[in-house]
Amino acid sequence: MNYDVIIVGAGPAGSTAAFFLAKKGYKVLLIDKHKFPRFKPCGGGIPIATFKRFSYLEKYDLVDSYCYGGFIHSPSLKYSIEAHSEKPILAMVLREKFDNGLVKIAQENGAEFFDGKKVKDVNIFQDKVMITLDNDIKISSDVVIGADGVSSIVAKKIGLAPQQKKVNVCIFQEYKLGEQILDKIATTQRFSHVHFMYKNIPGYAWLFTKKDSINIGIGQFIPYQKFVKQKISLNNTFKSYFDLLKQEKLIPDYLKIGKLKGGCIPINTLKQTYSDRALICGDAAGFINPVSGGGIQFAMISAENAAMILEDAFKNDNFKSSFLSRYQNLWMNEFGKDFQTLLRFSRIYLLQAERFIKIASKDKRLGNIMLNYLYGDTHLYKNRRRLLIYYISDRIKDVFGLI
C-alpha cells in the first residue's frame, strides 16, 4: 500500500493534518493504535480562539458547553482573580466525542483511517518512508507526520526524541452530575475554578464545568518539585481538594471520589521537529502550554502548519530536511514565542503564586492581557514587557501597602 502522507496518531493534531491534506487531494492514511472512539485523559478546555481559526468546526456538534469565566485562587485561598465575560472564553469538550468527530471530518474529506493498528517501526529512505505495523504489514508513503503523543514512536525511530523525555503528571476524574445541578453550582455560564500551588504542590488543582459533568484534577509540574521540601502524594492531595470543593459548595455533598485516572504531559518542546520526509506535531513535539498544560489548540495549529509545508514540498518535489525546516519557523512564530514567555513567567505564577494572584486580583490590566490571549486577539510575547512592568510596579506598590 502506497500513500502520499501517512499520519501516525489520530488525536487533534493527526486528524487536523489529515483533514487539510486530504481536502487538497492528497492520498492520506491516518493510523491510531486505539479503537475509536477512545478515552483520552484531558480536562477538555479549548480557548475560543481555536474555533475562530478552525471555523469549519462550527457546523459539527463537537462542543459540549461554553465557559464564560472563572476564578483563579491563591494557595492560601485569601485572594482570587475573577474573569467574567459576555462572550465565551473556553469551549469545553468531551475528548472521546471531540477526537472521534475530528477523525470523521478527515474521513469525509477523503482520508483513510486505520484504528486499532499499532506502528512498530518507521524507516526513512532516500525516496520513501516505510511504516511497519505490529502485524508486520508494511505501508509506504512520501512523507510521515508523527502525531502520536508523548511517547511518540515516530519521533523516537527517526532520532528526534530525547533519550529521557521529561513529563509532568496529573490525576483526575470526570463526574456526571446532570445539567440542572450544574446550573445551580456553576451557573448557566459554567464558571470554572483553578487553585495554584494547592497544598504547596508545584502546579494547580482544577474544577472544570461542562454541560452536565465536571472534571476535577491536580497537575504537578515536576521541574519545580526541587523548590518544595515536603513529600507529595497526589492521591491524598486530591482527596483534600475534593473535600474543599464540597465545603465551598462547588460540588454536591453526595459525590464520591471513585477511581482516579492519570496522565503525562510533556515538559519541553523537541529541539527539532522535522527531518527528511518527516514532521512532528502536537503532544509528540511537546506543544503544551507550560503553565496551563493545555495543548489541543497548539496541536491543531501545528497540524495546519505541517499541512502547509507539505503542500509546498509536494509542489517542489522536495522532502529534504532543509526544505521542511520552515515548519519549525512557522510554529515558533505562531505559539513558540508565547511558550518561551510563559516559561519565563512560570516561576512567578507558581513559586510566587500568592503574591502574583494578590496583585493580579487588584490590577485588571494583567487579567485583560490574559483574556485577550485566550480570545486570540494578542500574543503574550508581544506583551511580555508590559506584563513585567505592570507586575514589578505593582509589587513595589504592594511593599508600601498601596495595593
* DSSP state, residue 277: T
Residue tagged 504542590 (cell numbers): 201
Q: How many CB atoms lie within 10 A of CB 172?
A: 20
Identify which of 172, 207, 167 has the alpha carbon closest to the alpha carbon of residue 190.
207
Query: SS3 for 397?
Result: helix
Domains of the chain in start order, with CATH, are 2-44+94-165+270-324 (3.50.50.60), 65-91+167-265 (3.30.9), 342-399 (no CATH)
Identify which of 39, 47, 14, 13 has the alpha carbon closest to the alpha carbon of residue 291.
47
Q: Which residues are within 8 A (CB) of 101 and not within 5 positions of it... i.e. 6 or more apart? A: 60, 61, 62
Cis ω on the peptide bond leading into residue 12 (within 30° of 0)? no
Identify which of 263, 259, 255 has the alpha carbon closest to the alpha carbon of residue 214.
255
Contact between 350 and 74 (Cβ < 8 Å)? no
Identify which of 24, 25, 42, 32 has the alpha carbon closest to the alpha carbon of residue 6.
32
pTM of the model: 0.91
How far apart are alpha carbons 50 and 292 in whole angstroms? 16
CA 346 vs CA 24, 65, 271, 387: distances in Å: 40, 29, 20, 13
Q: In 200-308, at which residue ranges do the beta strands (DSSP E only) sit? A: 203-209, 213-220, 261-266, 274-275, 278-280
The x, y and z cell numbers of residue 303, run together, are 497540524
Give the distance from CA 368 to its chain's centroid.
Answer: 22
Contact between 48 and 65 (Cβ < 8 Å)? no
Q: How many CB atoms lie within 10 A of CB 263?
A: 18
How far apart are alpha carbons 123 and 72 in whole angstroms? 47
pLDDT (tens place) for every residue of the chain, 403 residues total: 899 999 999 999 999 999 999 999 999 999 999 999 998 878 889 988 899 999 999 999 999 999 998 898 999 999 998 888 888 988 999 999 999 999 999 999 999 999 999 999 999 999 999 999 999 999 999 999 999 999 999 999 999 998 766 778 899 999 999 999 999 999 999 999 999 899 988 889 999 999 999 999 999 887 767 667 777 789 999 999 999 999 999 999 999 999 999 988 887 899 999 999 999 999 999 999 887 788 999 999 999 999 999 999 999 999 999 999 999 999 999 999 988 887 777 766 677 888 888 888 887 777 666 656 654 556 766 776 776 666 667 667 666 565 6
The x, y and z cell numbers of residue 373, run together, are 490571549
Q: How many CB atoms lie within 10 A of CB 35?
A: 9
The kind and range of the H/E element at 369 are: helix 364-375
Identify which of 205, 186, 191, 180 has the alpha carbon closest to the alpha carbon of residue 43.
205
